[in-house]
Amino acid sequence: MRPRILIIDDEPEIRELYRNFLESEDYDIMEAQDGQEAFRLASEIRFDLFITDIMMPKMNGVEFMKVLKMIDPDAVVIIVTGFDDMEFTKEALNYGAFRFLTKPINMKEFLSIVEMGLVERKQLFQNSTSETLFRLKDKLISNPDLQQKVFEKLEDLLLSMESQNISQLEMGGHGSKGRIWARVRGELKPVSGDRSFNQDEINIMILSILGKTELESLLDNKYLKFNHEFVRDDVRYRYRAKVFFDLSELVVTIKPTRRDILPLEGQNITKPFIQHATIKSENSGIVLFTGPAASGKSSLIDALVDYNNNNAHGSIYIIADSLEFYHDSKGCVVRQQEIHSDVNNLAEALKSTLDFNPDLVVIEDIRYTDVLMTLMKLVDTGSLVFATLRTRSAIEAITKLIHMFNPTEQEQARSLLANNLNAIISQQLLTAKNGQLVLAKEILFNTPQVANAITNGNFNEIYPLIMQGVSNGVKVGMNTLEQDLLNLAKRGIITKEVALEHANNVGQLDEMFKYR
């Protein structure tokens, strides 16, 4: 994650100067025009560094530092001002300013001080946070009864997820306001009737499932993904968890993993798409599964892995931050690797699979160009690849991948994608009339016409091609999301209102309803 810096100055041209310079150095920049606006932002967002002017309306730089230290005692502040007054300088330094620079500034010196400030912030954060968390961890270790009590309380909380149809629990940090939050049918809300927890109680609950090595990794990397499992009444329960920080406070999100695979027959998936995602039918190519969080991407991928495992012979490599389902080898040898526990990182793991000529490779989100390029090399060696993206449509997925490259490289990127793409399914989970969840999907196959549109950058041609669903005069089974929503509404599965609410192109779908 890029360091986040807040620039505070009442002169827009100064803010723009700092922003442009620091963004060119790959920092995440936000702006405020005075101390009052800066304090509001600092109350809502965690910043790694503050760069502020002294003389500003409403709340000057020194006043801002006073109130900032109340909510963020370890805040690192650099004062940059044209107001050359030793009294203000002394006052700012007394309130903990890291450095004081007078305008006009030397940008090379400015960058050096910014880098030193970020190092200072990291050290202060680690020292104060480490001390608190290790103290609590030692308290748990020295009191086994307390640890067991906390552990059982957390287990009871996790077991309640299944009975209440909860797909995610979240607690801790400034944003949770001491509540436990639950995601049910896609909506994240505070659990009603549950008492509030203070941050120490939540920290103890989180630390009860972390070892000291995991805690050290969390403090070094600022986040940790891991699996947690336990046995209750001879049943093994397994969860995926992520711990991170929100305004220097611990947060955990926990999702249950599935004990069973949802069959393809129950997921409203067409035979043409299954054929494109099968080792026996398509020897190579990238199949993208796109959609927002909790849209069923993992469920569908696991079902297709199981389908290949039962109906083909070959090797399957699955690489994930944390595995949601364990696949036993059946017709295929299935290798499953978790990042950090089995491999150092995704890029490294993918490069190593090149030596084994896998038939199917499954990963999570494509976030970096080196990962995408390695996937294309795997396709060149004959692998079928499943990967996910968080986009709402097939066209958005294509453009997102292309824009991962620099403008000078995008022509070559379009050509590579056109040659290596197999299919895209973009999906959403909707609430049906009967209260159950139903899958709505957009399906694109890389037909010669689609490949040609990608190569030439004519992305506006792709939606009509999906809608026609034809390749060389033959229907191939493509459909837009709007066509699938219309079909679900016509069959009485969802209401027109639900269909329009989830459409990417509301105007198009509204017209389709008029002429259905």
Q: Say whether both 320 and 446 belong to one domain.
A: yes
Least-confidence region, from 248-262, 312-326, 330-344: 248-262
Judge whether 132 lies within some domain.
no
Residue appearing with tokens 């940059």: 80
Least-confidence region, from 186-200, 236-250, 415-429: 186-200
Q: Is 48 helix (H, G, I), strand (E, B) or coil?
A: coil
**Orientation angle between helical segments 410-420 and 394-402, nearest 10 degrees:** 130
Least-confidence region, from 81-95, 183-197, 382-396: 81-95
Q: What is the pLDDT of residues 300-334, one digit of tens each?
A: 999 999 999 999 999 999 999 878 788 999 999 99
Q: Say whether both 474 and 490 belong to one domain.
A: no
Among residues 59, 92, 122, the one where a domain terminates is 122
Q: Answer positive or negative: Cα dihedral of 35, 39, 40, 44.
A: positive
pLDDT in the model for residue 33: 92
Q: Say whether both 204 and 176 belong to one domain.
A: yes
DSSP secondary-structure letter at 413? H
5 and 47 in contact (C-beta within 8 Å)? yes
Q: What is the pTM of this model?
A: 0.67
User: Does the structure show a pLDDT above 90 at 338?
Assistant: no
Helix ranges (H only) for 210-318 are: 212-221, 271-276, 297-311
- pLDDT band at residue 152 under the 50/70/90 scheme: confident
Q: Which domain holds residue 502?
A: 481-516
Return mean pLDDT, the chain: 87
Burial 422-448 (b: 16+ CB within 10 A, else e): bbbbbbbbbbeeeeeebbbbbbbbbbe
Kindly state the tokens that stand for 21. Answer: 């310079």
Q: Which of 462, 380, 425 is nearest to 276 (CA)?
A: 425
Q: Report percent pLDDT > 70 for the chain.
A: 95
- pLDDT band at residue 249 under the 50/70/90 scheme: confident
pLDDT in the model for residue 385: 97
Residue appearing with tokens 């650099």: 78
- What backbone torsions phi and psi does residue 100 show, to the nearest 5 degrees? -130, 120
Please indicate whether residue 127 or residue 24 has the higher confidence score (pLDDT).
24
Paired with 229 in beta bridges are 238
Rounded to whole angstroms, how far apart are CA atoms 240 and 247? 23
Q: Please compute Rg for the chain using Cα positions.
A: 26
Q: Say whether both 226 and 272 belong to one domain.
A: no
Question: What mean pLDDT comes out for the span 489-516?
Answer: 92
Helix ranges (H only) for 208-321 are: 212-221, 271-276, 297-311
Helix H or strand E encompassing 354: none
Q: Say whether both 173 and 271 belong to one domain.
A: no
Q: What is the pLDDT of residues 413-472, one digit of tens each?
A: 999 999 999 999 999 999 999 988 899 999 999 999 999 999 999 999 999 999 999 888
CATH number for the domain spanning 319: value is 3.40.50.300
Judge whether 133 lies within some domain.
no
Judge whether 174 lies within some domain.
yes
Q: How many domains does the chain have?
A: 4
Residue appearing with tokens 């723009």: 16
pLDDT in the model for residue 84: 60
Kindly state the tokens that stand for 435. Answer: 């209260």
Burial 1-18 (b: 16+ CB within 10 A, else e): eebebbbbbbeeeebeeb
- pLDDT band at residue 206 under the 50/70/90 scheme: confident
Of these ranges, 69-73, 196-200, 245-249, 468-472, the one predicted with the greatest mean pLDDT is: 468-472
Please indicate whether residue 397 or residue 153 has the higher confidence score (pLDDT).
397
Of these ranges, 121-130, 141-150, 325-334, the one predicted with the greatest mean pLDDT is: 325-334
Helix, strand and coil content of the chain, in percent to the nearest 5, comes to 45, 25, 30
Rounded to whole angstroms, how far apart are CA atoms 374 and 385? 11
User: Does the structure show a pLDDT above 70 at 48?
Assistant: yes
Rounded to whole angstroms, how far apart are CA atoms 357 and 359? 7
pLDDT in the model for residue 410: 95
Rounded to whole angstroms, how far apart are CA atoms 159 and 29? 41
CATH number for the domain spanning 215: value is 3.30.450.90
Q: Say whether both 223 and 294 belong to one domain.
A: no
Q: Say whether both 371 and 470 belong to one domain.
A: yes
- What backbone torsions phi and psi does residue 238 show, to the nearest 5 degrees? -135, 140
Burial 93-114 (b: 16+ CB within 10 A, else e): eebebbbbeeeeeeeeebeebb
